[in-house]
Amino acid sequence: MPPNPPGSRPGALAHAFPETSAAPHSAPIGPLEAREGSGALKALLADLGSQIRRGRGLAREASLPLAFCPTGIPLLDARLGGGFPRGRLSELCGAPSSGRTSLATTLLAETLARGSLAAWIDPADAFDPVSAAACLAARGEGGKGSSDLRRLLWVRARSEKEAIRSAERILQTEGFELVLLDLAHARGRAPRGSQSAIQEASWLRLARLAAHGKSALVVLSNASQTGSRAELVLEMQRRRARFSAPPRLLDALEITAVLRRHRSRPTGQEIPLSLAADPDSSVDPHVHSQVHSHADPVHD
């Protein structure tokens, strides 16, 4: 038996690769066959080496702490473990007026205010730049929300198929911290070719691309559709709209965020939130405590 390479355990190679140490042919091995055998062994080792390296890389990636896109809402971020995870697929779902878009816009504003780039893929053509600029201005030092919008890439896709293709392309471009894919629809019925056309394979591909590009991919939808591919599913539920005393003004939207799915956090907890039309006047603990005690989920 040939001596083991220096530094290796005696017999380690034979133990690890018994099929390579056993003679495959009954005929005696000539010089040519011996060369071919050693070449095959080298190829096998090289192949295994790359697999081992890849495995190590995966293990290292898995052990690395996740980076997050915080929403800037302290309670929600605490419940989510820091925010929406980067390199993962997350979903925000709920009925119309359940606060999906407001939460997504808050997340967007927080991301843009940090100087990062974000993309909003909008097959529903529902993104409102004025609302987003107001949200950014409220997050930033004031009054400059529209300039932060220059770091937002708005893709007004004409169909969900285009939206998926656009999302794939953007996720391939490393450097977008947040990619929002708005598949929610405001109208009574879903647009032609929507939702059902998005197959499981698409979500798998998007999740992999998000992991590759280290982007937080957040999908807005009416009902959860990403299945097991999502790291996090946050369901938004509407409770009631609050109007002020005369003159009647829409004051706030009371909603509840329910963590339906999370790989590492407890699920099922309800997080009450208030979406204020004018944040400066809405944070009134007295009113909120009163509202929270009401049982009626939709309206008075």
Partner 1 sequence: MPIPSTTNKLAPAAGRARTRVACLLIPDLPLYAALRAEPELAGRSLVITTGPGPRAEILSASREALQAGIPLGQSLTQARAVSPGVEVRIASPVLERAARAAMLDVALSLSPRAETVARSGGLFTAEGAVFLDASGIAALHESESRFASVLHARAERAGLRGFVSLASSRGVARLAARQLANHARFARRAQEVETTRVLSPSKELAFLAPLSIDLLDPDDETADALARFGIHRIQDMLGLSSRDLAARVGPQILALIARARGEEIEPPLQTPRSLALEEGVDLESPLENLEPLTFVLRGLVSRLTQRLALRALGCGELRASLRFEGGGRDERRIALASPVQDERVLLRLIRQALESKPPSAALDGITLVCEGIPLRREQLDLFLPRGPDPSQLDQTLAELGSICGPSRVGSPAVVDDHRPDVFALQPFSGRVAPGRLAGRNADGVSSFTQSGRREADTTPTHTTVAARLTLRAVRPPARAEVRVEGDRPVALRSAVSQGEIVEIAGPWRTTGQWWSETGHFAVDHYDAQMSDGTVLRLCFDWRQNQWQVDGLYD
Amino acid symbol at 119: A
In this structure, are residues 124 and 195 in contact, taking their beta carbons and an 8 Å threshold? no
Between 195 and 237, name the residue whose CB sits nearer to partner 1.
237
Site for partner 1 in 111-140 (CB under 8 A): 113-117, 125-135, 138-140
Between 37 and 140, name the residue whose CB sits nearer to partner 1.
140
Alpha-carbon gap, residue 86 to 16, rounded angstroms: 38
Among 20, 195, 224, 282, interactor with partner 1 by CB under 8 A:
282
126: tokens are 């529902």
In this structure, are residues 145 and 134 in contact, taking their beta carbons and an 8 Å threshold? yes
CB 32 to partner 1: min, Å: 38
28: tokens are 């005696």
Among 166, 202, 225, 226, interactor with partner 1 by CB under 8 A:
166
For residue 191, the 8-state DSSP code is P
DSSP line for 70-101: --S-HHHHHHHTSSEETTSEEEEEESTTSSHH
Between 37 and 81, name the residue whose CB sits nearer to partner 1.
81
Pick the stretch among 151-159, 197-205, 224-232, 260-268 that binds partner 1 (CB under 8 A).
151-159
Size of the site for partner 1 (CB under 8 A): 101
In this structure, are residues 240 and 254 in contact, taking their beta carbons and an 8 Å threshold? yes
Site for partner 1 in 176-235 (CB under 8 A): 176-177, 184, 186-189
Among 14, 75, 197, 223, interactor with partner 1 by CB under 8 A:
75
Tokens 């979500």 -> residue:
203
CB 149 to partner 1: min, Å: 5
Find the distance separating the first CA and the last CA of the chain, reported in whole Å: 87
- Tally of CB atoms within 10 A around 289: 9
Site for partner 1 in 233-252 (CB under 8 A): 238, 240-241, 243, 247-250, 252
Pick the stretch among 32-40, 108-116, 193-201, 259-267 that binds partner 1 (CB under 8 A).
108-116
Pick the stretch among 37-45, 54-62, 200-208, 281-289 that binds partner 1 (CB under 8 A).
281-289
Amino acid symbol at 136: L
Between 20 and 97, name the residue whose CB sits nearer to partner 1.
97
